[in-house]
Each structure stands twice: as C-alpha cells, then as structure tokens.
C-alpha cells in the first residue's frame, strides 16, 4: 500500500511539474512577443520610413533658394546674396549649426536679438567660414545682391526653413545657370555671375552670430 501511495504521489508530482513547465513556456513566449511588439511600434516604423534626403539649392543669378526633398522641390524663396565686393561663396556645403534668436557681433559691437539685429530671427550655419543662411532687419534687400556673403531671407521665410532643415543637410550655391536651376527656377538662358572675392573682404565678414542662443 505504501509503495502504491508513493508511486501515485510521484506520478502526481511529475504531472504537476510538466504543467508548470508548460505554463512557464507559454508565459515566456508571451513576454517575448510583447517585447518584440514594443520594439517596433507604429510610431518607430513611421519614423524610419520618413527619413528625408534634403538639399538646399541657392542660385545666385536668380537670387532664389529652393528646398529639395527626396528629389522634389517643396519650396522656393527669394533671397539676398553677396554683393560684388563680398560675394557669396560657390560650391557644396553642409549645415553645421542652427541658432534661434542669434546675437550679431563684430569687434566692439554686439547686437542681441530684436528688430535691429542684422541676422534676423534665425541662423543656419554652413561649413564655410562665417557664412550662413539667416534672417534680416532689411527686408527690402531681398531679391538683390546686397549681403556680406551670407544668404539673407525674410524673417518669416527663414523661420519656416529653420523648422525644416537639420544639421548635415546638403547646401549647394551656384553662380551660373544649369539644367537643374533651369528646371527648378524656370530660367533657361545661360548666364554667369562674376564672383571673385577679395581675400581680405571674405575674411572680414560680420554676418556671423555667437554660437549660442540669446536668453529669452
């Protein structure tokens, strides 16, 4: 009788262990599935699918700036470009910083944010010494060759551009009409803009902010 009781008890214990093991496997599988589901949320998937290849194209002859995303033009702005004595640089660049409410400075003068600031409301810095895309306190200069080399925009336009661009975005500044500018800006006639800067003038640009945001 005792042997039969022990055998019966052993069988019951073995059955219980098998049930517990099966339950543990089910729980582990459920936890693994939940973890995998949390790792790839719809928001994360959407973010991965919306990576944008962005390029800012500036045409000096047209005094125009185009925003191109994934090969499509999404916005065109009128801008002011460098005047003959301080022309805008030509070539391929990258956005290296973004400053809201920048301060304007040159030796002996600092102008904080406000309506008198020559940099306007936003600064988008390029990897060319002291050159960037920024707002202005002289909106009537837009559409002309009037800057110290930077690309000037209306404050409302640069604010919109600022919200769109990111550090690392490509910027190309062209001094002549190309097939690309003809397609984007609708100007087909070839023309070349003379852009020969005096070295001293190029190194004394004042349209550059401190790389800090003025206190609100």
Structural domain tally of the chain?
A: 2
- Burial of residue 47 (number of CB atoms within 10 Å: 0-12, 13-18, 19+): exposed
User: Is 175 contained in some domain?
Assistant: yes
Q: Catalytic annotation on 122?
A: no
Q: What is the dihedral of CA 163, 169, 172, 173, to 10 degrees?
A: 40
Query: Residue 24: which domain range?
Result: 2-49
- Whether 88 and 43 share a structural domain: no
State pLDDT tens for residues 5-39: 454 555 555 555 666 665 566 566 655 655 555 45
Residue 173's DSSP bridge partners are 58, 91
- Whether 9 and 78 share a structural domain: no
pLDDT of 61 above 80? yes
Q: What is the pTM of this model?
A: 0.66
d(CA 209, CA 200): 20
User: Is 39 contained in some domain?
Assistant: yes
- Whether 104 and 10 share a structural domain: no
- Whether 69 and 94 share a structural domain: yes
Q: Catalytic annotation on 134?
A: yes
User: Is 10 contained in some domain?
Assistant: yes
State pLDDT tens for residues 64-77: 999 999 999 999 99
- Whether 45 and 61 share a structural domain: no
CA atoms within 13 A on the CB side of 111: 15
Name which of 30, 68, 92, 23 is nearest 165 in CA terms.
68
The enclosing domain of 143 has a CATH number of 2.40.440.10
- Whether 65 and 42 share a structural domain: no
SS3 of 47, please?
helix
User: Is 6 contained in some domain?
Assistant: yes
| From 63, 148, 150, 177, active-site residue | 150
Of the two residues 179 and 31, the one the predictor is more confident about is 179
Residue 134's pLDDT is what?
98
| From 122, 134, 148, 177, active-site residue | 134
- Whether 6 and 108 share a structural domain: no
Q: Of the residues 49, 65, 80, which one is the last residue of a structural domain?
A: 49
pLDDT of 188 above 70? no
State pLDDT tens for residues 75-131: 999 999 999 999 999 999 999 999 999 999 989 999 999 999 999 999 999 998 889
Of the two residues 35 and 173, the one the predictor is more confident about is 173
């Amino acid at each position: 009788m005792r042997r039969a009781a022990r055998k019966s008890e052993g069988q019951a214990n073995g059955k219980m262990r098998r049930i517990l093991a099966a339950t543990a496997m089910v729980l582990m599988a459920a936890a693994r599935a939940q973890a995998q589901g949390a790792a790839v949320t719809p928001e994360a998937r959407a973010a991965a699918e919306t990576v944008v290849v962005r390029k800012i194209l500036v045409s000096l002859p047209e005094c125009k700036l185009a925003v191109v995303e994934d090969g499509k033009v999404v916005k065109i702005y009128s801008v002011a470009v460098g005047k003959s004595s301080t022309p805008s640089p030509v070539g391929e660049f990258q956005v290296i910083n973004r400053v809201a409410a920048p301060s304007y400075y040159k030796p002996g003068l600092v102008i904080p944010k406000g309506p008198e600031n020559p940099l306007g409301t936003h600064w988008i810095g390029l990897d060319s010494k002291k050159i960037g895309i920024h707002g202005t306190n002289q909106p009537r200069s837009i559409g002309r060759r009037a800057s110290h080399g930077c690309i000037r925009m209306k404050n409302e336009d640069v604010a919109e551009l600022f919200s769109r661009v990111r550090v690392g975005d490509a910027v190309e500044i062209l001094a002549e009409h190309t097939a690309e500018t003809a397609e984007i800006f609708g100007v087909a006639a070839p023309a070349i803009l003379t852009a020969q800067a005096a070295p001293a003038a190029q190194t004394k640009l004042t349209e550059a902010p401190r790389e800090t945001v003025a206190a609100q």
